[in-house]
Structure 1
């Protein structure tokens, strides 16, 4: 008597509350319904791999058909989606073992164990153990039929369930099952009819399972001819020498959604404590979401060539413009995105990939400076975030960074070049931060430095004000803003051939400075003669122990600073305007108006407005009236 005749139809009642299980799965494990297809394809690919290994010892299992296949059949008329593989297949006991694990273990235990385990530990394996991957199909199907025939067996079985409390296992005629392997028929819900669309299925397969090690074909209508949509090969598994530039470019465009050429390609396999393959690209142009406030990366994570997520934070945030993927076999295949985020294995992979990408950018800067220049134009502002955030690579990123300076013209300079060309008397790296390059170049705070040939970094990105505070030094040289504290330029001689007025104030100038201190006591922290001004009459600088002027503006605009510190007004005693005001000893009213106008002039030069426009206009009118008398 055959096995099919011996065993009657079996009806099993789920011990677990399947509705509760599905609620957990939808809300705690998977973030979208498309994932069911990834899970079914992953299971099918595993079945094909199991057959391949078993066939090494028992070649007859292949039955003359050694090519692994996964076939998707779309049945729009009957609202069905059918997935079939020619893998190892399952017998009666294996069907119950593979698809009935939840029934024996119970949803409550599943939920408790999921909640009790940390990512990367035993809990990271539970989803596969409890069969939740297969059960994800009940998010889109009202009934599921599984027909399976184990390789080398003459018997076939069907497992069937609506996912609401029970399932049946039935012997079937082998003619109604694959020659070997498993056929899963999803009777789709009314709102899941889109899964009979070729466009939908191809998109999901290519995005999530396009690189499983088994070719995937599609049949758009029952009885139609199969068409291959993936070839079962993964570009990143090939040796670099076997991949052409055009292949890399095509793959980059597919994974990034951009149509430019990559500026840099990084392809490597890591071996040792953790084994993984990475294929990463630096785009040739800025991605549209580079300045997304969430600052998330767009690297994809694969496990054993099966797509897991593109939200695994595989890159530090300052490399979020990098596109590509990481494929590892060290992580469990069926693991939730939430659990995988904090995996220590993932942390080690993240560190290794970031190191390789930063090193590759360094090599590009040395070997192809023009290509690197374009890369820096596109991504320099983001890379500099790493100086602020990444202590471990700070020195490396500082050396990699490029800057406009007062001597660079239209080009860029590295900090190494800056330090090499520093004046012998110079002990710090000077910088000026602001929002506009032309405004920075015209800043009065630069005059004394320019007169002495001292190079100053011109920093126009918002992050510059943060990393300069957080980077204590480069090659032993501290960073110092030219808008903060005293300039202390007296030890550096002025350039030869320049005829500049002496900064030493006369007795009259000293008296005017004291007058200005009293007049502006409520508005400034101090008034002093300046050694940094050579052309302008006045400028504002921040006190020594406060934020520099640009940083104060950023914090105030973000609501992070209630009130800025009172600035210091520096006066150029040799300037004709100051000299004229100084000479008006007998008209304190005029000198008071003129002093306030000097303060407002300094604010305007600093990119601000007079704090009291009406008072400014009235003072200006009085000064004009006195001048024309």
Structure 2
């Protein structure tokens, strides 16, 4: 096949320019990324050989080589792993197939410091491109295990790359960097120096389970095609010791952090390291990490979740979803089981009772670690909850077994303080004398909730209300129902009387005074509402809409519809403030049998104002504008 030239995808081209102009403060990490990619390729080949035999693949001496040529100014990272086909090279190297790429690039360009930029890049697993920080040209030669022909990919990072077929390429992948001149002032070292390579591997890749061998000079003819081989007896640069199998006092925090970065492709240190060792009838070891920053695709359907599964130190599966519940999908790490089959499949894992035992134990361990963080380090807990609180709260809906533990580590914004969120425990301790319920209100933002008419009486009486702004809040609050015997009550649902018994929201004299107006308005607005009643929750606004105690809120209706579920719309209840001048005037006009056409318009406007006050849209915007304009004209 003749050499073909292609243009990079727009996002890939933008990323290349960012890499070439170096958003990294420490350029050494390019080697970590290339070694990490090589390690993944070896893992995949080992896994494929376990599953189907991979008859044509050589798995006798799986390893990584780093070859340096000081005279030619090249550095090559080579593996004899799974390799890539011609089509895979074009798809995986020429494009960045990620739904959040555009937002990621924008955030990357806006990053104010190098550490933040590094963290963003790591989330997208595009470490291959980091080679352009230190190289003017990059050549990749690869042959997929079991295929006859290899593929060469070459680019100078200037918008295009070439692809051609290579005969005689060895199994696996080699990446050759044509290095830029060394420039120590700009952190650009001579990466052909053996001491520098040893230093980088020791610092970042010591724990990798495959031997990393150093080849100081070219191994002979054909090295540009990635054919050079290092001796299998060469002393590896890395110790290859599994960190999770070593005692805590044998491993430094830095080593744990490098393992986390290798697993997660995140460039920042984790927020928390969680160790677990189970002994007895079923033995396993776990080393888990809580990230310090949520990935861009945490709430997208294609988000990869789960930890790596090993069996007796042999890599079995990446992103093993069965080891943790979906609401802990951000947790990264390794689980090494002693009693599973090496050819275990996802289907078998779903039915395996040992895996279910591991999941229950890991879940409880993670939640207890968060609780401990909450008690000992408020700042780190605040970071954790800011990044992952919205997804953790999904567990309040789906995981009844751990609901109490989840409530114990959850916190929520409230009217008590703008400084930070509160726990339900702290809320209950602050409840006023005689207060029986925990009050909350959901909305798009704190500001919109605080400005809601439903909050007026609570604000006037100094009663604390939880301010819930995540979409999942609509669901979990209804599912949980209570905390320590206290009901969770939405201030926008049902009748609420903060002075007397529930259901007696107004005195009988006032009810009789407004009875005629309420019946008339219910008839006028029958298409949109099911009831009109006087309110005890309003002190400033003339009217508001509330849901019946057992009805779904409009936000919850919309959420279910977005999920493809058919949900009938429930009519709302219109509550009027009997002390508001507009409502008083409307009642007097109705009792005086004033112009009913004008009264009908006023009733319609009052209802639409209530819709707008809760963030909704008028049913007929043009008609609403006309009615308001006509009323304004009459006042001139």
TM-score (norm 1): 0.66
Name 1:554's counterpart in structure 2: 559
Name 1:302's counterpart in structure 2: 310
Which protein shows a greater Rg?
A: 1
Whether 2:272 is the aligned partner of 1:267: answer no
Give the CA deviation at 1:269. 1.2
Q: Which moved more, 1:406-415 or 1:331-340?
A: 331-340
- SS at structure 1 position matched to 2:351: coil
Whether 2:447 is the aligned partner of 1:447: answer no
- Structure 1 contact 445–532 (Cα < 8 Å) conserved: yes
Give the CA deviation at 1:402. 0.3
Give the CA deviation at 1:411. 1.1
Change (3 A) 1:214 1:376: closer
How many angstroms apart in 2 are the aligned matches of 1:142 and 1:340? Answer: 35
- SS at structure 1 position matched to 2:45: helix
Name 1:291's counterpart in structure 2: 299
- Structure 1 contact 140–189 (Cα < 8 Å) conserved: no
Whether 2:492 is the aligned partner of 1:483: answer yes
Name 1:517's counterpart in structure 2: 522
Which of the residues 603, 611, 615 maps onto 1:607? 615
What are the superposed Cα offsets for residues 225-277 of structure 1, whole Å, 9 maximum, x if unpaired? Answer: 54625423111111112222222222211211111121111012111232111
- Structure 1 contact 402–414 (Cα < 8 Å) conserved: yes
Whether 2:255 is the aligned partner of 1:278: answer no
Q: What is the number of equivalent residue pairs in this alignment?
A: 461
Name 1:465's counterpart in structure 2: 474
Whether 2:577 is the aligned partner of 1:572: answer yes
Change (3 A) 1:191 1:74: farther
Whether 2:172 is the aligned partner of 1:195: answer yes
Give the CA deviation at 1:346. 1.5
Matches within 5 A, 1:203-602: 215=211, 217=213, 221=219, 224=230, 226=234, 228=236, 230-294=238-302, 296-313=304-321, 314-491=323-500, 505=510, 508-584=513-589, 585=592, 586-602=594-610
Change (3 A) 1:557 1:82: closer
How many angstroms apart in 1 are the aligned matches of 2:398 and 2:65? Answer: 50
How many angstroms apart in 1 are the aligned matches of 2:428 and 2:251? Answer: 42
- Structure 1 contact 466–551 (Cα < 8 Å) conserved: yes
Give the CA deviation at 1:197. 1.9
Change (3 A) 1:191 1:384: farther
Give the CA deviation at 1:520. 1.2
Give the CA deviation at 1:224. 4.5
- SS at structure 2 position matched to 1:410: strand
- Structure 1 contact 503–529 (Cα < 8 Å) conserved: no
Q: Which moved more, 1:428-437 or 1:213-222?
A: 213-222
- SS at structure 1 position matched to 2:319: coil
How many angstroms apart in 2 are the aligned matches of 1:457 and 1:531? Answer: 19
Give the CA deviation at 1:379. 0.5
How many angstroms apart in 1 are the aligned matches of 2:431 and 2:552? Answer: 25
TM-score (norm 2): 0.65
In structure 2, runs of 5+ residues without a counterpart are: 1-39, 52-59, 68-77, 82-142, 150-164, 178-196, 220-227
How many angstroms apart in 1 are the aligned matches of 2:146 and 2:66? Answer: 14
Name 2:624's counterpart in structure 1: 616
What are the superposed Cα offsets for residues 526-578 of structure 1, whole Å, 9 maximum, x if unpaired? Answer: 00000000011110001222113432332344453454111000000111222
- Structure 2 contact 442–469 (Cα < 8 Å) conserved: yes
- SS at structure 1 position matched to 2:400: coil
How many angstroms apart in 1 are the aligned matches of 2:259 and 2:41? Answer: 25
How many angstroms apart in 1 are the aligned matches of 2:461 and 2:79? Answer: 77
